[in-house]
Amino acid sequence: MPDDAAPSTVTDAQALRAILGEPPAAVRNKEMPRLDAHCRRFIALSPMLFIGSAAADGKGDVTPRGDPPGFVAVVDDRTLLIPERLGNKRGDTLNNVLGNPNVGLIFLIPGVDETLRVNGRASVVDDPALLAPLAQNGKTPKLAIRIDITDAFIHCGRALKRARLWDPASVIDRAAFPSMAQMAHDQRRRDTSVAELEAFFADFYATLY
């Protein structure tokens, strides 16, 4: 293909379906409008989730959230609360939610290849009565993301199995990839030494709440 030639693209649902084929009924109909006992148990054991959001202009984003297992509060079978912990103050997800409430979540449990997917509409809450139960290490978050669930389902483990994510043999030697300080220096902070940045990040990571 010539260097300036546009790649072949799939541009309509019919063409896409012709390539993918039809999903079996059990897969097609697995979304549930609320959490069941298995979903609630999954959330109770999960120390990690990823939340996908999009700004009002459509720009997409995915950010991680992590805490001790069960850090996401299940208010009821249709409602979740995700605490907004101390971070870099960018507030990407929070700002996106203000302009476009539609979000998608993926929950992970270490050692489990299946994941839990939850979709819904999000809002940013600052109600002290809602935030108080989300305290961790004596620190109550100033904000939380409320998720009004539209659908939830368990996602099969093929992706994580292919990745061998929980296999100890997959863990790399940390020296094989640059430290956060080295990357920050190379990408945007050449006026600051790597040693100074190492000290900054050590202090930054020491204060999690």
Which residue segment(s) compose the domain that 195 sits in? 172-206
- Same domain? For 56 and 117 the reply is yes
Tens-digit pLDDT profile for residues 177-193: 999 999 999 999 999 99
Share the mean pLDDT of the chain: 94
- Same domain? For 125 and 196 the reply is no
- Same domain? For 102 and 180 the reply is no
Chain-centroid distance of CA 64 in Å reads 4
- Same domain? For 120 and 178 the reply is no
Tens-digit pLDDT profile for residues 114-154: 999 999 999 999 999 999 999 999 999 999 999 999 999 99
68: pLDDT confidence band, cut at 50, 70 and 90? Answer: very high
Prediction pTM value: 0.91
- Same domain? For 107 and 190 the reply is no
Q: What pLDDT is stored for residue 25 in this prediction?
A: 81
Q: How do strand 60-66 and strand 73-76 relate by DSSP bridges?
A: unpaired
- Same domain? For 194 and 126 the reply is no
- Same domain? For 199 and 102 the reply is no
Q: Is residue 143 assigned to a domain?
A: yes
**Domain count for the chain:** 2
- Same domain? For 104 and 186 the reply is no
Q: What pLDDT is stored for residue 29 in this prediction?
A: 80
Tens-digit pLDDT profile for residues 72-127: 999 999 999 999 998 888 999 999 999 999 999 999 999 999 999 999 999 999 99
Nearest-5° angle of CA 125, CA 143, CA 91? Answer: 105
Is 1's pLDDT higher than 60?
no
Strand ranges, E, within the chain? 48-54, 60-66, 73-76, 79-84, 102-108, 115-125, 143-155
Q: Is residue 178 assigned to a domain?
A: yes
Residue 163 to residues 104, 113, 116, 157, 170, Cα–Cα distance (Å): 22, 10, 17, 10, 8
Q: Is residue 13 assigned to a domain?
A: no
